[in-house]
Amino acid sequence: MFVVAHISDLHFNGTRFNRSRIESTLDYVNSCADGIDALLITGDITDEGRPSEYVEAARVLHSPLPILLTAGNHDVREPLSATLLGAETSEPINQSRMIADVLFLVVDSSVPGRNDGFLTDDTLAWMSAEIAAHPADTDVLVSFHHPPVVLHMPFMDSIRQTGEDRLAALVDKHPNIVGFLCGHAHTPAVTTFAGRPLCIAPGVSSTLNLPFEGTDVVNTGQPPGIAFHILDQGKLVTHFRSVPQ
């Protein structure tokens, strides 16, 4: 059994409100660390992509767990990579890591200067090569920021990941991809993509309302949340937790 703690949309912005929500969420994850194998952060680490926000993130984002992260549409690659990953780059922030017997591909669906998402051909080719470099029976988890599906949230659906047919073709080529993990929507949700589970982490900084929950898009009254993904013999089960404030 392999367990992933998954958080997203932290939006460090220098305010005590956001920082306290992030700290509470990390404290909850770290308190359970003995039963968890990895901590995944699927983008929007900061609110404006300012260097000072990444410095704040670096001071707070500590865990005994291996941390995997990538960029969201609110992030800027250069200060993110320089401050949190130790080497500055303007290229997509893609990571491949084996943890226990699971291959993580954490890839960058952000498009500089835009809010919608897209995986470049180079990223998709890199993903395919990384999977092919491992035994064919290796379980692969793919994660990124933008969901490649419609969630029936009008605003978020207008800035989702496009070009998803190319990603679906990757599953046809590599059937050992067991699931997709993402963020962006600030709501816990589960659906399928290319015949695989697609699980969306709750927002840490805020929740976004569904159309029938009111006219306001952003809901800061909901507590921050965590997704716990349990992978066992190629099957993915997701549990969600709210973090008391």
- 229 pLDDT exceeds 90? yes
- 231 pLDDT exceeds 90? yes
Q: How far apart are CA 4 and CA 40, in angstroms?
A: 7
pLDDT at 214: 86
Segment 174-187, tens digit of pLDDT: 999 999 999 999 99
pLDDT at 130: 98
- 152 pLDDT exceeds 90? yes
Position 9 confidence tier, pLDDT thresholds 50, 70, 90: very high
Alpha helices in the chain (DSSP H): 16-31, 51-60, 77-80, 121-132, 154-157, 164-173
Which pTM does this prediction carry?
0.97
CATH number of domain containing 101: 3.60.21.10
pLDDT at 142: 98
Q: How far apart are CA 140 and CA 54, in angstroms?
A: 29
Owner of token pair 């291959």: 103
In the chain, the percentage of residues whose pLDDT exceeds 70 is: 100
Burial class of residue 121 (count of CB atoms within 10 Å of its CB; 0-12, 13-18, 19+): exposed
DSSP state of 35: G
CB 9 within 8 A of CB 183: yes
Q: Which helix (H) or strand (E) holds 193?
A: strand 189-193
CB 186 within 8 A of CB 206: yes
pLDDT at 245: 82
pLDDT at 67: 98
- 215 pLDDT exceeds 90? no
Q: How far apart are CA 16 and CA 205, in angstroms?
A: 11
DSSP state of 167: H
pLDDT at 40: 98
pLDDT at 36: 98
Position 166 confidence tier, pLDDT thresholds 50, 70, 90: very high
Residues in Cβ contact with 86 at an 8 Å cutoff, skipping those fewer than 6 apart = none
Range of the domain at 184: 2-242
The mean pLDDT of 101-120, rounded to a whole number, is 98
- 205 pLDDT exceeds 90? yes
At 10, phi and psi to the nearest 5? -80, -40
The total of structural domains in the chain comes to: 1
The mean pLDDT of 97-101, rounded to a whole number, is 96
The mean pLDDT of 120-143, rounded to a whole number, is 98
CB 94 within 8 A of CB 34: no
Position 196 confidence tier, pLDDT thresholds 50, 70, 90: very high
* Mean predicted lDDT score pLDDT of the chain: 97
- 110 pLDDT exceeds 90? yes
